[in-house]
Structure 1
Amino acid sequence: MTVKFGLLGTTEARIDGLLVEDLGHPRQRHVLAALLIGANRPVPAKQLIDRVWAGRPPQRALGTLYSCISRLRRALAPASRDVRIARQAGGYLLTVDPSAVDLHHFRRLVVRAGAAHRDERAADLLERALGLWRGEAFAAADTPWFNALRAVAHQERLAAELDLADIRLRRGDHARLLPELSARAQQHPLDERVAGQLMTALYRSGRTAEALDLYQAVRRRLADEPGIDPGPALRQLHQQVLTAAPVLATPAARPATRSAPSPTPVPRQLPAPPLLFTGRTRELGLLDSPFGPSTGQAHSVVILAIGGVGGIGKTWLALHWAHENLERFPDGQLYVDLRGSTPLGEPVQPRTAVRGFLDALGADPATVPADPDAQAALYRGLTAGKRLLIVLDNARDTAQVAPLLPGSPTCTVIVTSRRRLAGLAVAHGARPLILDTLTDTEARHLLTRYLGTDRVAAEPEGVTALLDHCAGLPLAIGVLAARATTSPGVRLTELAAELHEEQTRGTSGTTGASAGRGAPP
């Protein structure tokens, strides 16, 4: 039997391709993650306890650790030839082929890419390495040791992404890179290498003014925050853009032998699905209803408008349904966070979102008109006849959404908003779905998935008290579960009493409706 371990996302194990379901509660998975990170090296028990429980170990910590190890051995027993956890010199040693652990395999592929002599070979290795990532490294592990390693791993991922982008720019693939580079520049606004790549792609796409504007924005940010000027490389690139230096010209196309035209890109912009989605059976059925066998061919765009207060789970519902129905949208999925209810920053302008969609749909930058209305018309033309899903998350109002609606009945749109968007229903036939809080059963099930069956069963009174504080809001349950998980030695009844005292003083920011303020919709 072959075994594979995943750390670049949630901690998981697969034996002969099948997911191992019984890896246990989150802390037990963190024990496995810590052993896999140090694979083939003994890890002292005290060090393991500190890495997993971060200075707040449970009572009888060594016994708890031993129980975790014992259960992990049983779960991995079918692959005992390929992976072993042995007790050794006051600690534990997990023996496994490093290539079976995605983190170590990723690092080996990146090293091989750096040593490759041809861009094509390096790009292939980097794409394989980046394809191993499924989300945030060591997801849900929140201790100083894991957090520090996560930061390092994410920097390694960014470096690999930038290396691959450099190769693609050298190969003249700047137009297809634009959506990716734009998103990366938003995530890393102070990274000069990221800014330089985006400036190069914009310049080569005929968007010189935007490249220069980007430089000035980065220069201001660097001056405001770290208090420094751009480095020599970015300043030189700025001068090259100003003078239209020949070195920035698009690389000459390689001699072709009657190659087929480049395929139209299929956008895949959805964020990762929520890991612990629970309940919402009725709402999922309502979202499915327009696609039943008896509905026939749609004559207009299907627009599903999910509304509700902050923290009630609108985005979770939209993303869960979207990922469960990907096969209905073979031509791709577009996504934008419109930031309509974000406390900091301005809502996204419709023209900005349209331009991002045009890039994702593969529009030739040279043919994109300057007029926003003309861009919206081009967007509708590119989506016509395609089976696309378009998720407009966190919308402010109908006016922000309307320019982003496609014109083809083959497309489906999901809008989330804290407002009811009555104008969207009246003018565009949107189907409203107003979310209510979770039922008591759903809320308890969600908390159980966070904390584990054993802890919930052991403290029924504490669970009831915590759920009363959460008022059925999924976000509030997640916040309190995180607090409970990082304090394993604190009983749930004690945590509930602390929350009650905080609420009485009027200082609580993590319970009930107050936990949803300023939260993602």
Structure 2
Amino acid sequence: MIVEFRVLGPVDASIDGRTVALGPARQRCVLAALLVDVNRVVLVDQLIDRVWGENRPYRVRGTLHSYLSRLRKVLGDDPRITQQSGGYLLAADESTVDLHRFRRLVGDARTAADERALVLFEQALELWRGEAFAGLDVPWLARVRAELERERTAAVLDHIEVALRLGLHATVLPKLSTVAGENPLDERLAGQLMLALYRSGRQAEAQAHYQVTRTRLAEELGTDPSAALRQLHHQILTADPALSPPTGKAAPVGRSAVPRQLPPPPGSFIGREDELDQLTAALDVRAGSTVVISAVRGAGGIGKTWLVLQWAYQNLARFPDGQLHVNLRGFDPTGQPAKPETALRGFLDALGVESAAIPLDPDAQGALYRSLVADRRMLIVLDNARDTNQVTPLLPGSPTCTVLITSRNALAGLVTTQGARPVALDVLAHDDAVALLVKHLGTARVAADPAATDELIRRCAGLPLALGIVAGRAATHPDLTLAALAEELCDHAGRLDALDTGEAMLNLRAVFSWSYDALTPDAAALFGLLGLAPGPDFSVAAAASLTSLPVSRTAALMRELESAHLVQQPTPGRFRTHDLMRLYATEQARLSHTEEGLTAALRRLVDHYVHTGHAADKLLNPHRPPVEVGEPVDGSQVQVMADQVAAQNWFTAEHPNLLAAQQLVADRAWHTCAWQLAWVTHTYHWRRGQLHDNLAVWRIALAACEQMGDVESQTWAHRLLGYACVRVGLREDAMTHLKQALALAERTDDIRGQADARRGLAWALEQQGEDRLALEHAKPALELYEKVGQPAWVAWTLNQMGWYEAKLGEYENARAHCEAALDLYRVHTDHQGEANTLDSLGYIAHRTGELGRALDYYQQALALFRDLGHTYLEADTLDHLALTQVELGRLEAARRTWQRALELYEAQHRTTAAERVRSHLADTSP
């Protein structure tokens, strides 16, 4: 028998992998007090002080003895709680207590070589499941919790330090940014973040973070940055070579990332031994020969996801290279199932692939995904799949990977074509259903009325979801007998129909109603409206927009709903709910609101997405021409973001909801909103390389604009849809839409629209190798931009013309146009455009034999690209620079430059460019 204890999160224990009920909060406090000093005697007075502090009950020693007796019964004889020398001792192997295992792993990591230390730190930090002793609130535990949090933070910092020494700055940067934001006055963290940003080519952000830290230290502590932080800042300003990552140690992006995407393990899992054994047997029998695929099927609420997660956490050691997870939303009542390409894109992000490196073609994306997971021992969980077609593109090709799929459908095609092992999941057997109730309520309460227990199980049809809700209601109402609960369920059955899912004969409405009926009126109204929200999850601000309540009030209501187990909060600030619960919520909304009220709520939510997205887009692209979106309707909450990072994070979190919202407004014929949502997501899609999503939203937008009959918006939609088609290689479609945009703009004397359309046509023609025709469209675009006074786009078009002319060999005109563009960019402080133009001037200087000037232009462009963190264009400029260095006879410098370009091309999976550079390196080898 193996007993394990966990305190780095909620206090719990398991025996042979099965969680045991530890009783009320004070009883868990007693166990925690013994676990902190495992294998050491804790005096009785110490225990009492730790558990009760100053609030000691009458006859406290008797109460303590009672708690200890119950713990002995729950835990058995090993580990043993014994009375010794005026106190109590819990004897156990320290490795079975996560707190002591954490401390041992951290201690070992601090004395190990860096490669080993990195692994040990990761293992230590993965033991944390949240706040230590979560849910227990006594003064002594608060002090211990604070100390443990300091230990955890120190371990995080040491882990980051090791990763930076190994050159893994790109891998730790996202986590480092989050931790630094939570600890803005920690100078060690500030220095680590500055170094990681600098090494990632984001020098400007590194310098900006130093200035923010310096200001905060002065304002809040009245001090200056330490000498070490000031020295690091000076090294960044001077591009000190000592800050370069260790040679040869920076792992290629996409291979170094170890994703850990599994949701938390199920808190209450009972039975299913046969099904767990089937999953293990599939892996043991077929491992090494082909991809192991198990397809778990069963009704909604039957526990498919919990089964898969339970097995996954029991077998984590089999998958050291990571775990991928996606909810495919195959039966989401509020929207369409997730597209395979969307899930694939999420996997590539998790595997560390830069956006610019992701191919446009879905088949190429799938090939890249399979290449990245090849030979890696990984678990891939495809949850809530609709059908075989949805999951097939997400299957790896390597026999080292294991795939677990859940679905309400049988997925017979997957069994036939891929040899998947089907695992059918039925309702809980009667004994397991009883065990589940015992786990929540204790043996005595369940055994007190076997008939009522049987009736509850029958009414819940053995469905774990329903039984869990029943148990939760009983646990929160200890004075309510199981017989009364069973009678209440029978009463509800007489006046509510069974929830018709087509899969289970049970009265889920009645079960859900227990939690719903106990809500305050405002929380009940919010719960109903949440069922209407498009997309997989929602923020507090989105929920506030649905209800027209203040954000602070809505946040309190969301806590009430979470306490009632009607919503979950898988990540801080973001909420979701089970799809069957969402169906019930929608029913309640339609019972308690008029159709006009529901429509108004949805309009407030859509306006939240439109106006917050519009503000975020302006932060990402301040030079973009403004589009009028009007004022949000009353009650719609518009989030305010401080900077580009916050805007980017908002789009990333809300992206699935924005797509779902656009589909909702298209279905409701809210044409203006459909067009506006395409507009606000355009910059994000463009920068993230989510080209197919961009194409899809502009197709919807164009259809909406045509229904509106508004020529100006149609002009925009045709042009931006044309741009989207260029990016995905649909050249004929691109030309059609761009010519239509030009025709509409000419018909309405829209000079700016004509310029934009001609610039787009020039770009499309260049992609087809028609540089002369491209130039013929760029020239009138320039005249039109000059006519309407658009200096940013005048500069863009001047550089565009100069580039086409340089490719055509017209170097004098090319140089004049690019120099004019450079002057404009510098006046209007557009560093992206400036860097692009410097690269063009470098190309022109190289082609005309001015190698020294070419060298200078390329080096200026590189400095700007690195400040912007634009590694995609940095790689191209490095390639150009190296060619110039070769002609200058600087072969060693050229080889170093090409080596850096090769690293970037490989990280971006630009195979053609990488092969070209390898050829250059071979040609110039000594």
Shorter chain as normaliser: what TM range?
0.5 to 0.7
Rounded Cα–Cα distance in structure 1 between residues aligned with 2:387 and 2:452 = 40
Q: Which one has the largest radius of gyration?
A: 2
Q: Which residue of 1 aligns with 2:452?
A: 462
Counterparts in 2 of 1:260 and 1:465: CA distance versus 1, 3 Å: same
Where do 1:105-124 residues align within 5 Å? none
Q: 1:165 to 1:316 in 2, by over 3 A?
A: same
**Aligned position for 1:26:** 23
Tell me if the contact between 1:73 and 1:84 (Cα under 8 Å) persists in the aligned partners: no
Q: Distance in 2 between matches of 1:192 and 1:443?
A: 46
In structure 2, the CA distance between the partners of 1:202 and 1:488, relative to structure 1 (3 Å rule), is: farther
Match of 1:167 among 161, 165, 174: 161
**Shift in Å, 1:487:** 3.9
Is residue 438 of structure 2 the alignment partner of residue 444 of structure 1? no
1:358 Cα shift? 2.6
CA shift for structure 1 position 38: 8.6
Aligned length: 462
Amino acid at match of 2:324: Y
**What does residue range 156-195 of structure 1 map to in structure 2 within 5 Å?**
159-160=153-154, 163-164=157-158, 166-168=160-162, 170-171=164-165, 173-174=167-168, 177=171, 181=175
Q: Which residue of 2 aligns with 1:336?
A: 325
Q: Distance in 2 between matches of 1:289 and 1:159?
A: 40
Q: Which moved more, 1:499-508 or 1:377-386?
A: 499-508
For 1:290 and 1:138, the matched residues in 2 are separated by 37
Residue 303 (structure 1) aligned with residue 275 (structure 2): no
Question: Residues 2-57 of structure 1: CA distance to partner in whole angstroms, max 9, x if unpaired?
Answer: x996422564679xxx9899987433852533544897584797995899xx9xx9
| Equivalent residue, structure 1, for 2:348 | 355
Deviations 1:55-91 (A, max 9, x none): xx9xx999776432234468688788x975898xxxx
Distance 1:167 1:464 in 2: 57
Structure 2 counterpart of 1:67? 66
Residue 246 of structure 1 and its aligned partner are, at CA, apart by 6.9
In structure 1, the residue matched to 2:462 is 472
Return the alpha-carbon distance in structure 1 between the equivalents of residues 98 and 282 of structure 2: 42
Question: Does the Cα contact within 8 Å between 1:204 and 1:250 map onto a contact in 2?
Answer: no
Partner SS state of residue 309, structure 1: coil
**2:171 partner amino acid:** L
Match of 1:219 in 2: none
| Equivalences for residues 417-428 of structure 1 within 5 A | 417-421=407-411, 424-425=414-415, 428=418
Instruction: Summarize the Cα distance change of 1:176–1:453 in structure 2 as closer, same or farther, 3 Å threshold.
Output: farther
Gap change, CA 1:367 and 1:483, over 3 Å in 2: same
Amino acid at match of 2:67: C
Q: Give the TM-score of the pair, scaled to structure 2.
A: 0.38
1:378 alignment counterpart:
368
| 2:345 alignment partner, SS class | helix
1:355–1:441: structure 2 CA closer, same or farther, 3 Å change rule? same
Q: Distance in 2 between matches of 1:434 and 1:110?
A: 40
Local SS of the residue matching 1:391: strand
State how far apart, in whole Å, the 2-side matches of 1:399 and 1:206 are: 40
Task: State whether residues 427 and 462 of structure 2, in contact with CA within 8 Å, keep that contact through their aligned partners in structure 1.
Answer: yes
Report the residue type matching 1:70 in the other structure: S
Q: Which residue of 1 aligns with 2:578?
A: 519
Q: Is the 8 A contact 2:452 2:483 kept in 1?
A: yes
Deviation at 1:318?
A: 1.5
CA distance in 2, matches of 1:278, 1:413: 23
The 3 A distance-change label for structure 1 pair 170 and 22 is closer
- The corresponding residue for 2:512 is 509
* Maintained 8 Å contact 2:297/2:304: yes
2:623 maps to which residue? none
Distance 1:48 1:494, change over 3 A: farther
The question of whether the paired residues in 1 share the 8 Å contact of 2:303 and 2:465 is answered with: yes
What are structure 1's unaligned runs of at least 5 residues? 88-92, 216-232, 234-243
Bigger mean CA deviation after superposition, 283-292 or 100-109 = 100-109
Asked if 2 retains the 8 angstrom alpha-carbon contact of 1:12 and 1:20, the reply is no
Kindly state the Cα deviation for residue 314 of structure 1 after the two structures are TM-superposed. 1.0
**Unaligned 5+ runs, structure 2:** 210-224, 226-235, 497-508, 516-530, 532-564, 568-576, 581-926
Give the deviation of 1:507 after TM superposition: 6.4
Which residue of 2 is the match for residue 7 of structure 1? 7
Give the Å deviation of 1:396.
5.1
- Contact 1:307 / 1:416 at 8 angstroms: preserved in 2? yes
Deviation at 1:142, TM superposition (A): 5.4
Give the counterpart letter for 1:354 in structure 2: F
Counterpart AA for 2:66:
S
Structure-to-structure mapping, 1:284-299, within 5 angstroms? 284-288=276-280, 290-291=282-283, 298=289
Change (3 A) 1:156 1:206: same
Q: Helix, strand or coil for the counterpart of 1:509? A: helix
Indicate how the Cα distance of structure 1 residues 378 and 260 shifts in structure 2: closer, same or farther if over 3 A, else same: closer
Q: 1:432 to 1:246 in 2, by over 3 A?
A: farther
Matched, 1:279 2:265: no
- Residue 108 of structure 1 deviates from its aligned partner by 8.1
SS of equivalent residue, structure 2 residue 323: strand
Q: Secondary structure at the match of 1:390?
A: strand
TM-score, normalized by length of structure 1?
Answer: 0.61
Task: Please give the alpha-carbon distance, in whole angstroms, between the structure 1 residues aligned to 2:147 and 2:333.
Answer: 30
2:401 equivalent to 1:411: yes
RMSD (CA atoms): 6.3
Residue 377 of structure 1 aligns to a residue whose secondary structure is helix
In 2: Cα distance, 1:198 partner to 1:393 partner: 35
Distance change >3 Å, CA 479–CA 353, structure 1 → 2? same
Q: Supply the distance in 2 between the matched residues of 1:375 and 1:426 (Cα, whole angstroms).
A: 25
Report what 2:482 is aligned to. 492
Q: Which residue of 1 aligns with 2:129?
A: 135
Secondary structure of residue in 1 paired with 2:293: strand
For residues 346 and 326 of structure 2, the distance between their equivalents in structure 1, rounded to whole angstroms, comes to 9
Q: 2:418 and 2:19 mapped to 1: Cα distance?
A: 47
Which string of whole-angstrom CA distances, capped at 9 and with x for unpartnered residues, describes residues 435-476 of structure 1? Answer: 222122221222223333333222323322332343212233
Change (3 A) 1:426 1:331: same
Percentage of identical aligned residues:
32
SS at match of 1:472: coil
Structure number with higher helix proportion: 2
1:252 aligns with 2:244: yes
The answer (yes or no) to whether the contact 1:10–1:138 under 8 Å persists in 2 is yes
Question: C-alpha offsets along residues 412-438 of structure 1, whole Å, 9 cap, x if unaligned?
Answer: 311123455556456645444442221
CA contact (8 A) 1:110 1:160 kept: no
Q: State the distance in 2 between where 1:428 and 1:271 align.
A: 26
Mapped contact 2:121–2:159 kept (Cα < 8 A): no
For the structure 1 residues 95 and 486, does the alpha-carbon distance in structure 2 shift closer, same or farther, using more than 3 Å as the test?
Answer: farther
Q: Higher relative CO (CA 8 A, sep ≥ 6), structure 1 or 2? A: 1
Counterpart amino acid of 1:436? D
Q: For the residues of structure 2 that align with 1:4 and 1:464, how far apart are their CA atoms?
A: 32
* Aligned 8 A contact 2:173 2:196 in 1: no
Relative to 1, partners in 2 of residues 1:302 and 1:10: Cα closer, same or farther, differing over 3 Å? same
CA shift in 2, pair 1:13/1:425, >3 Å: closer
Q: Give distance in 1, aligned partners of 2:452 and 2:52.
A: 25
- Cα pair 2:270 2:432 within 8 Å, conserved: yes
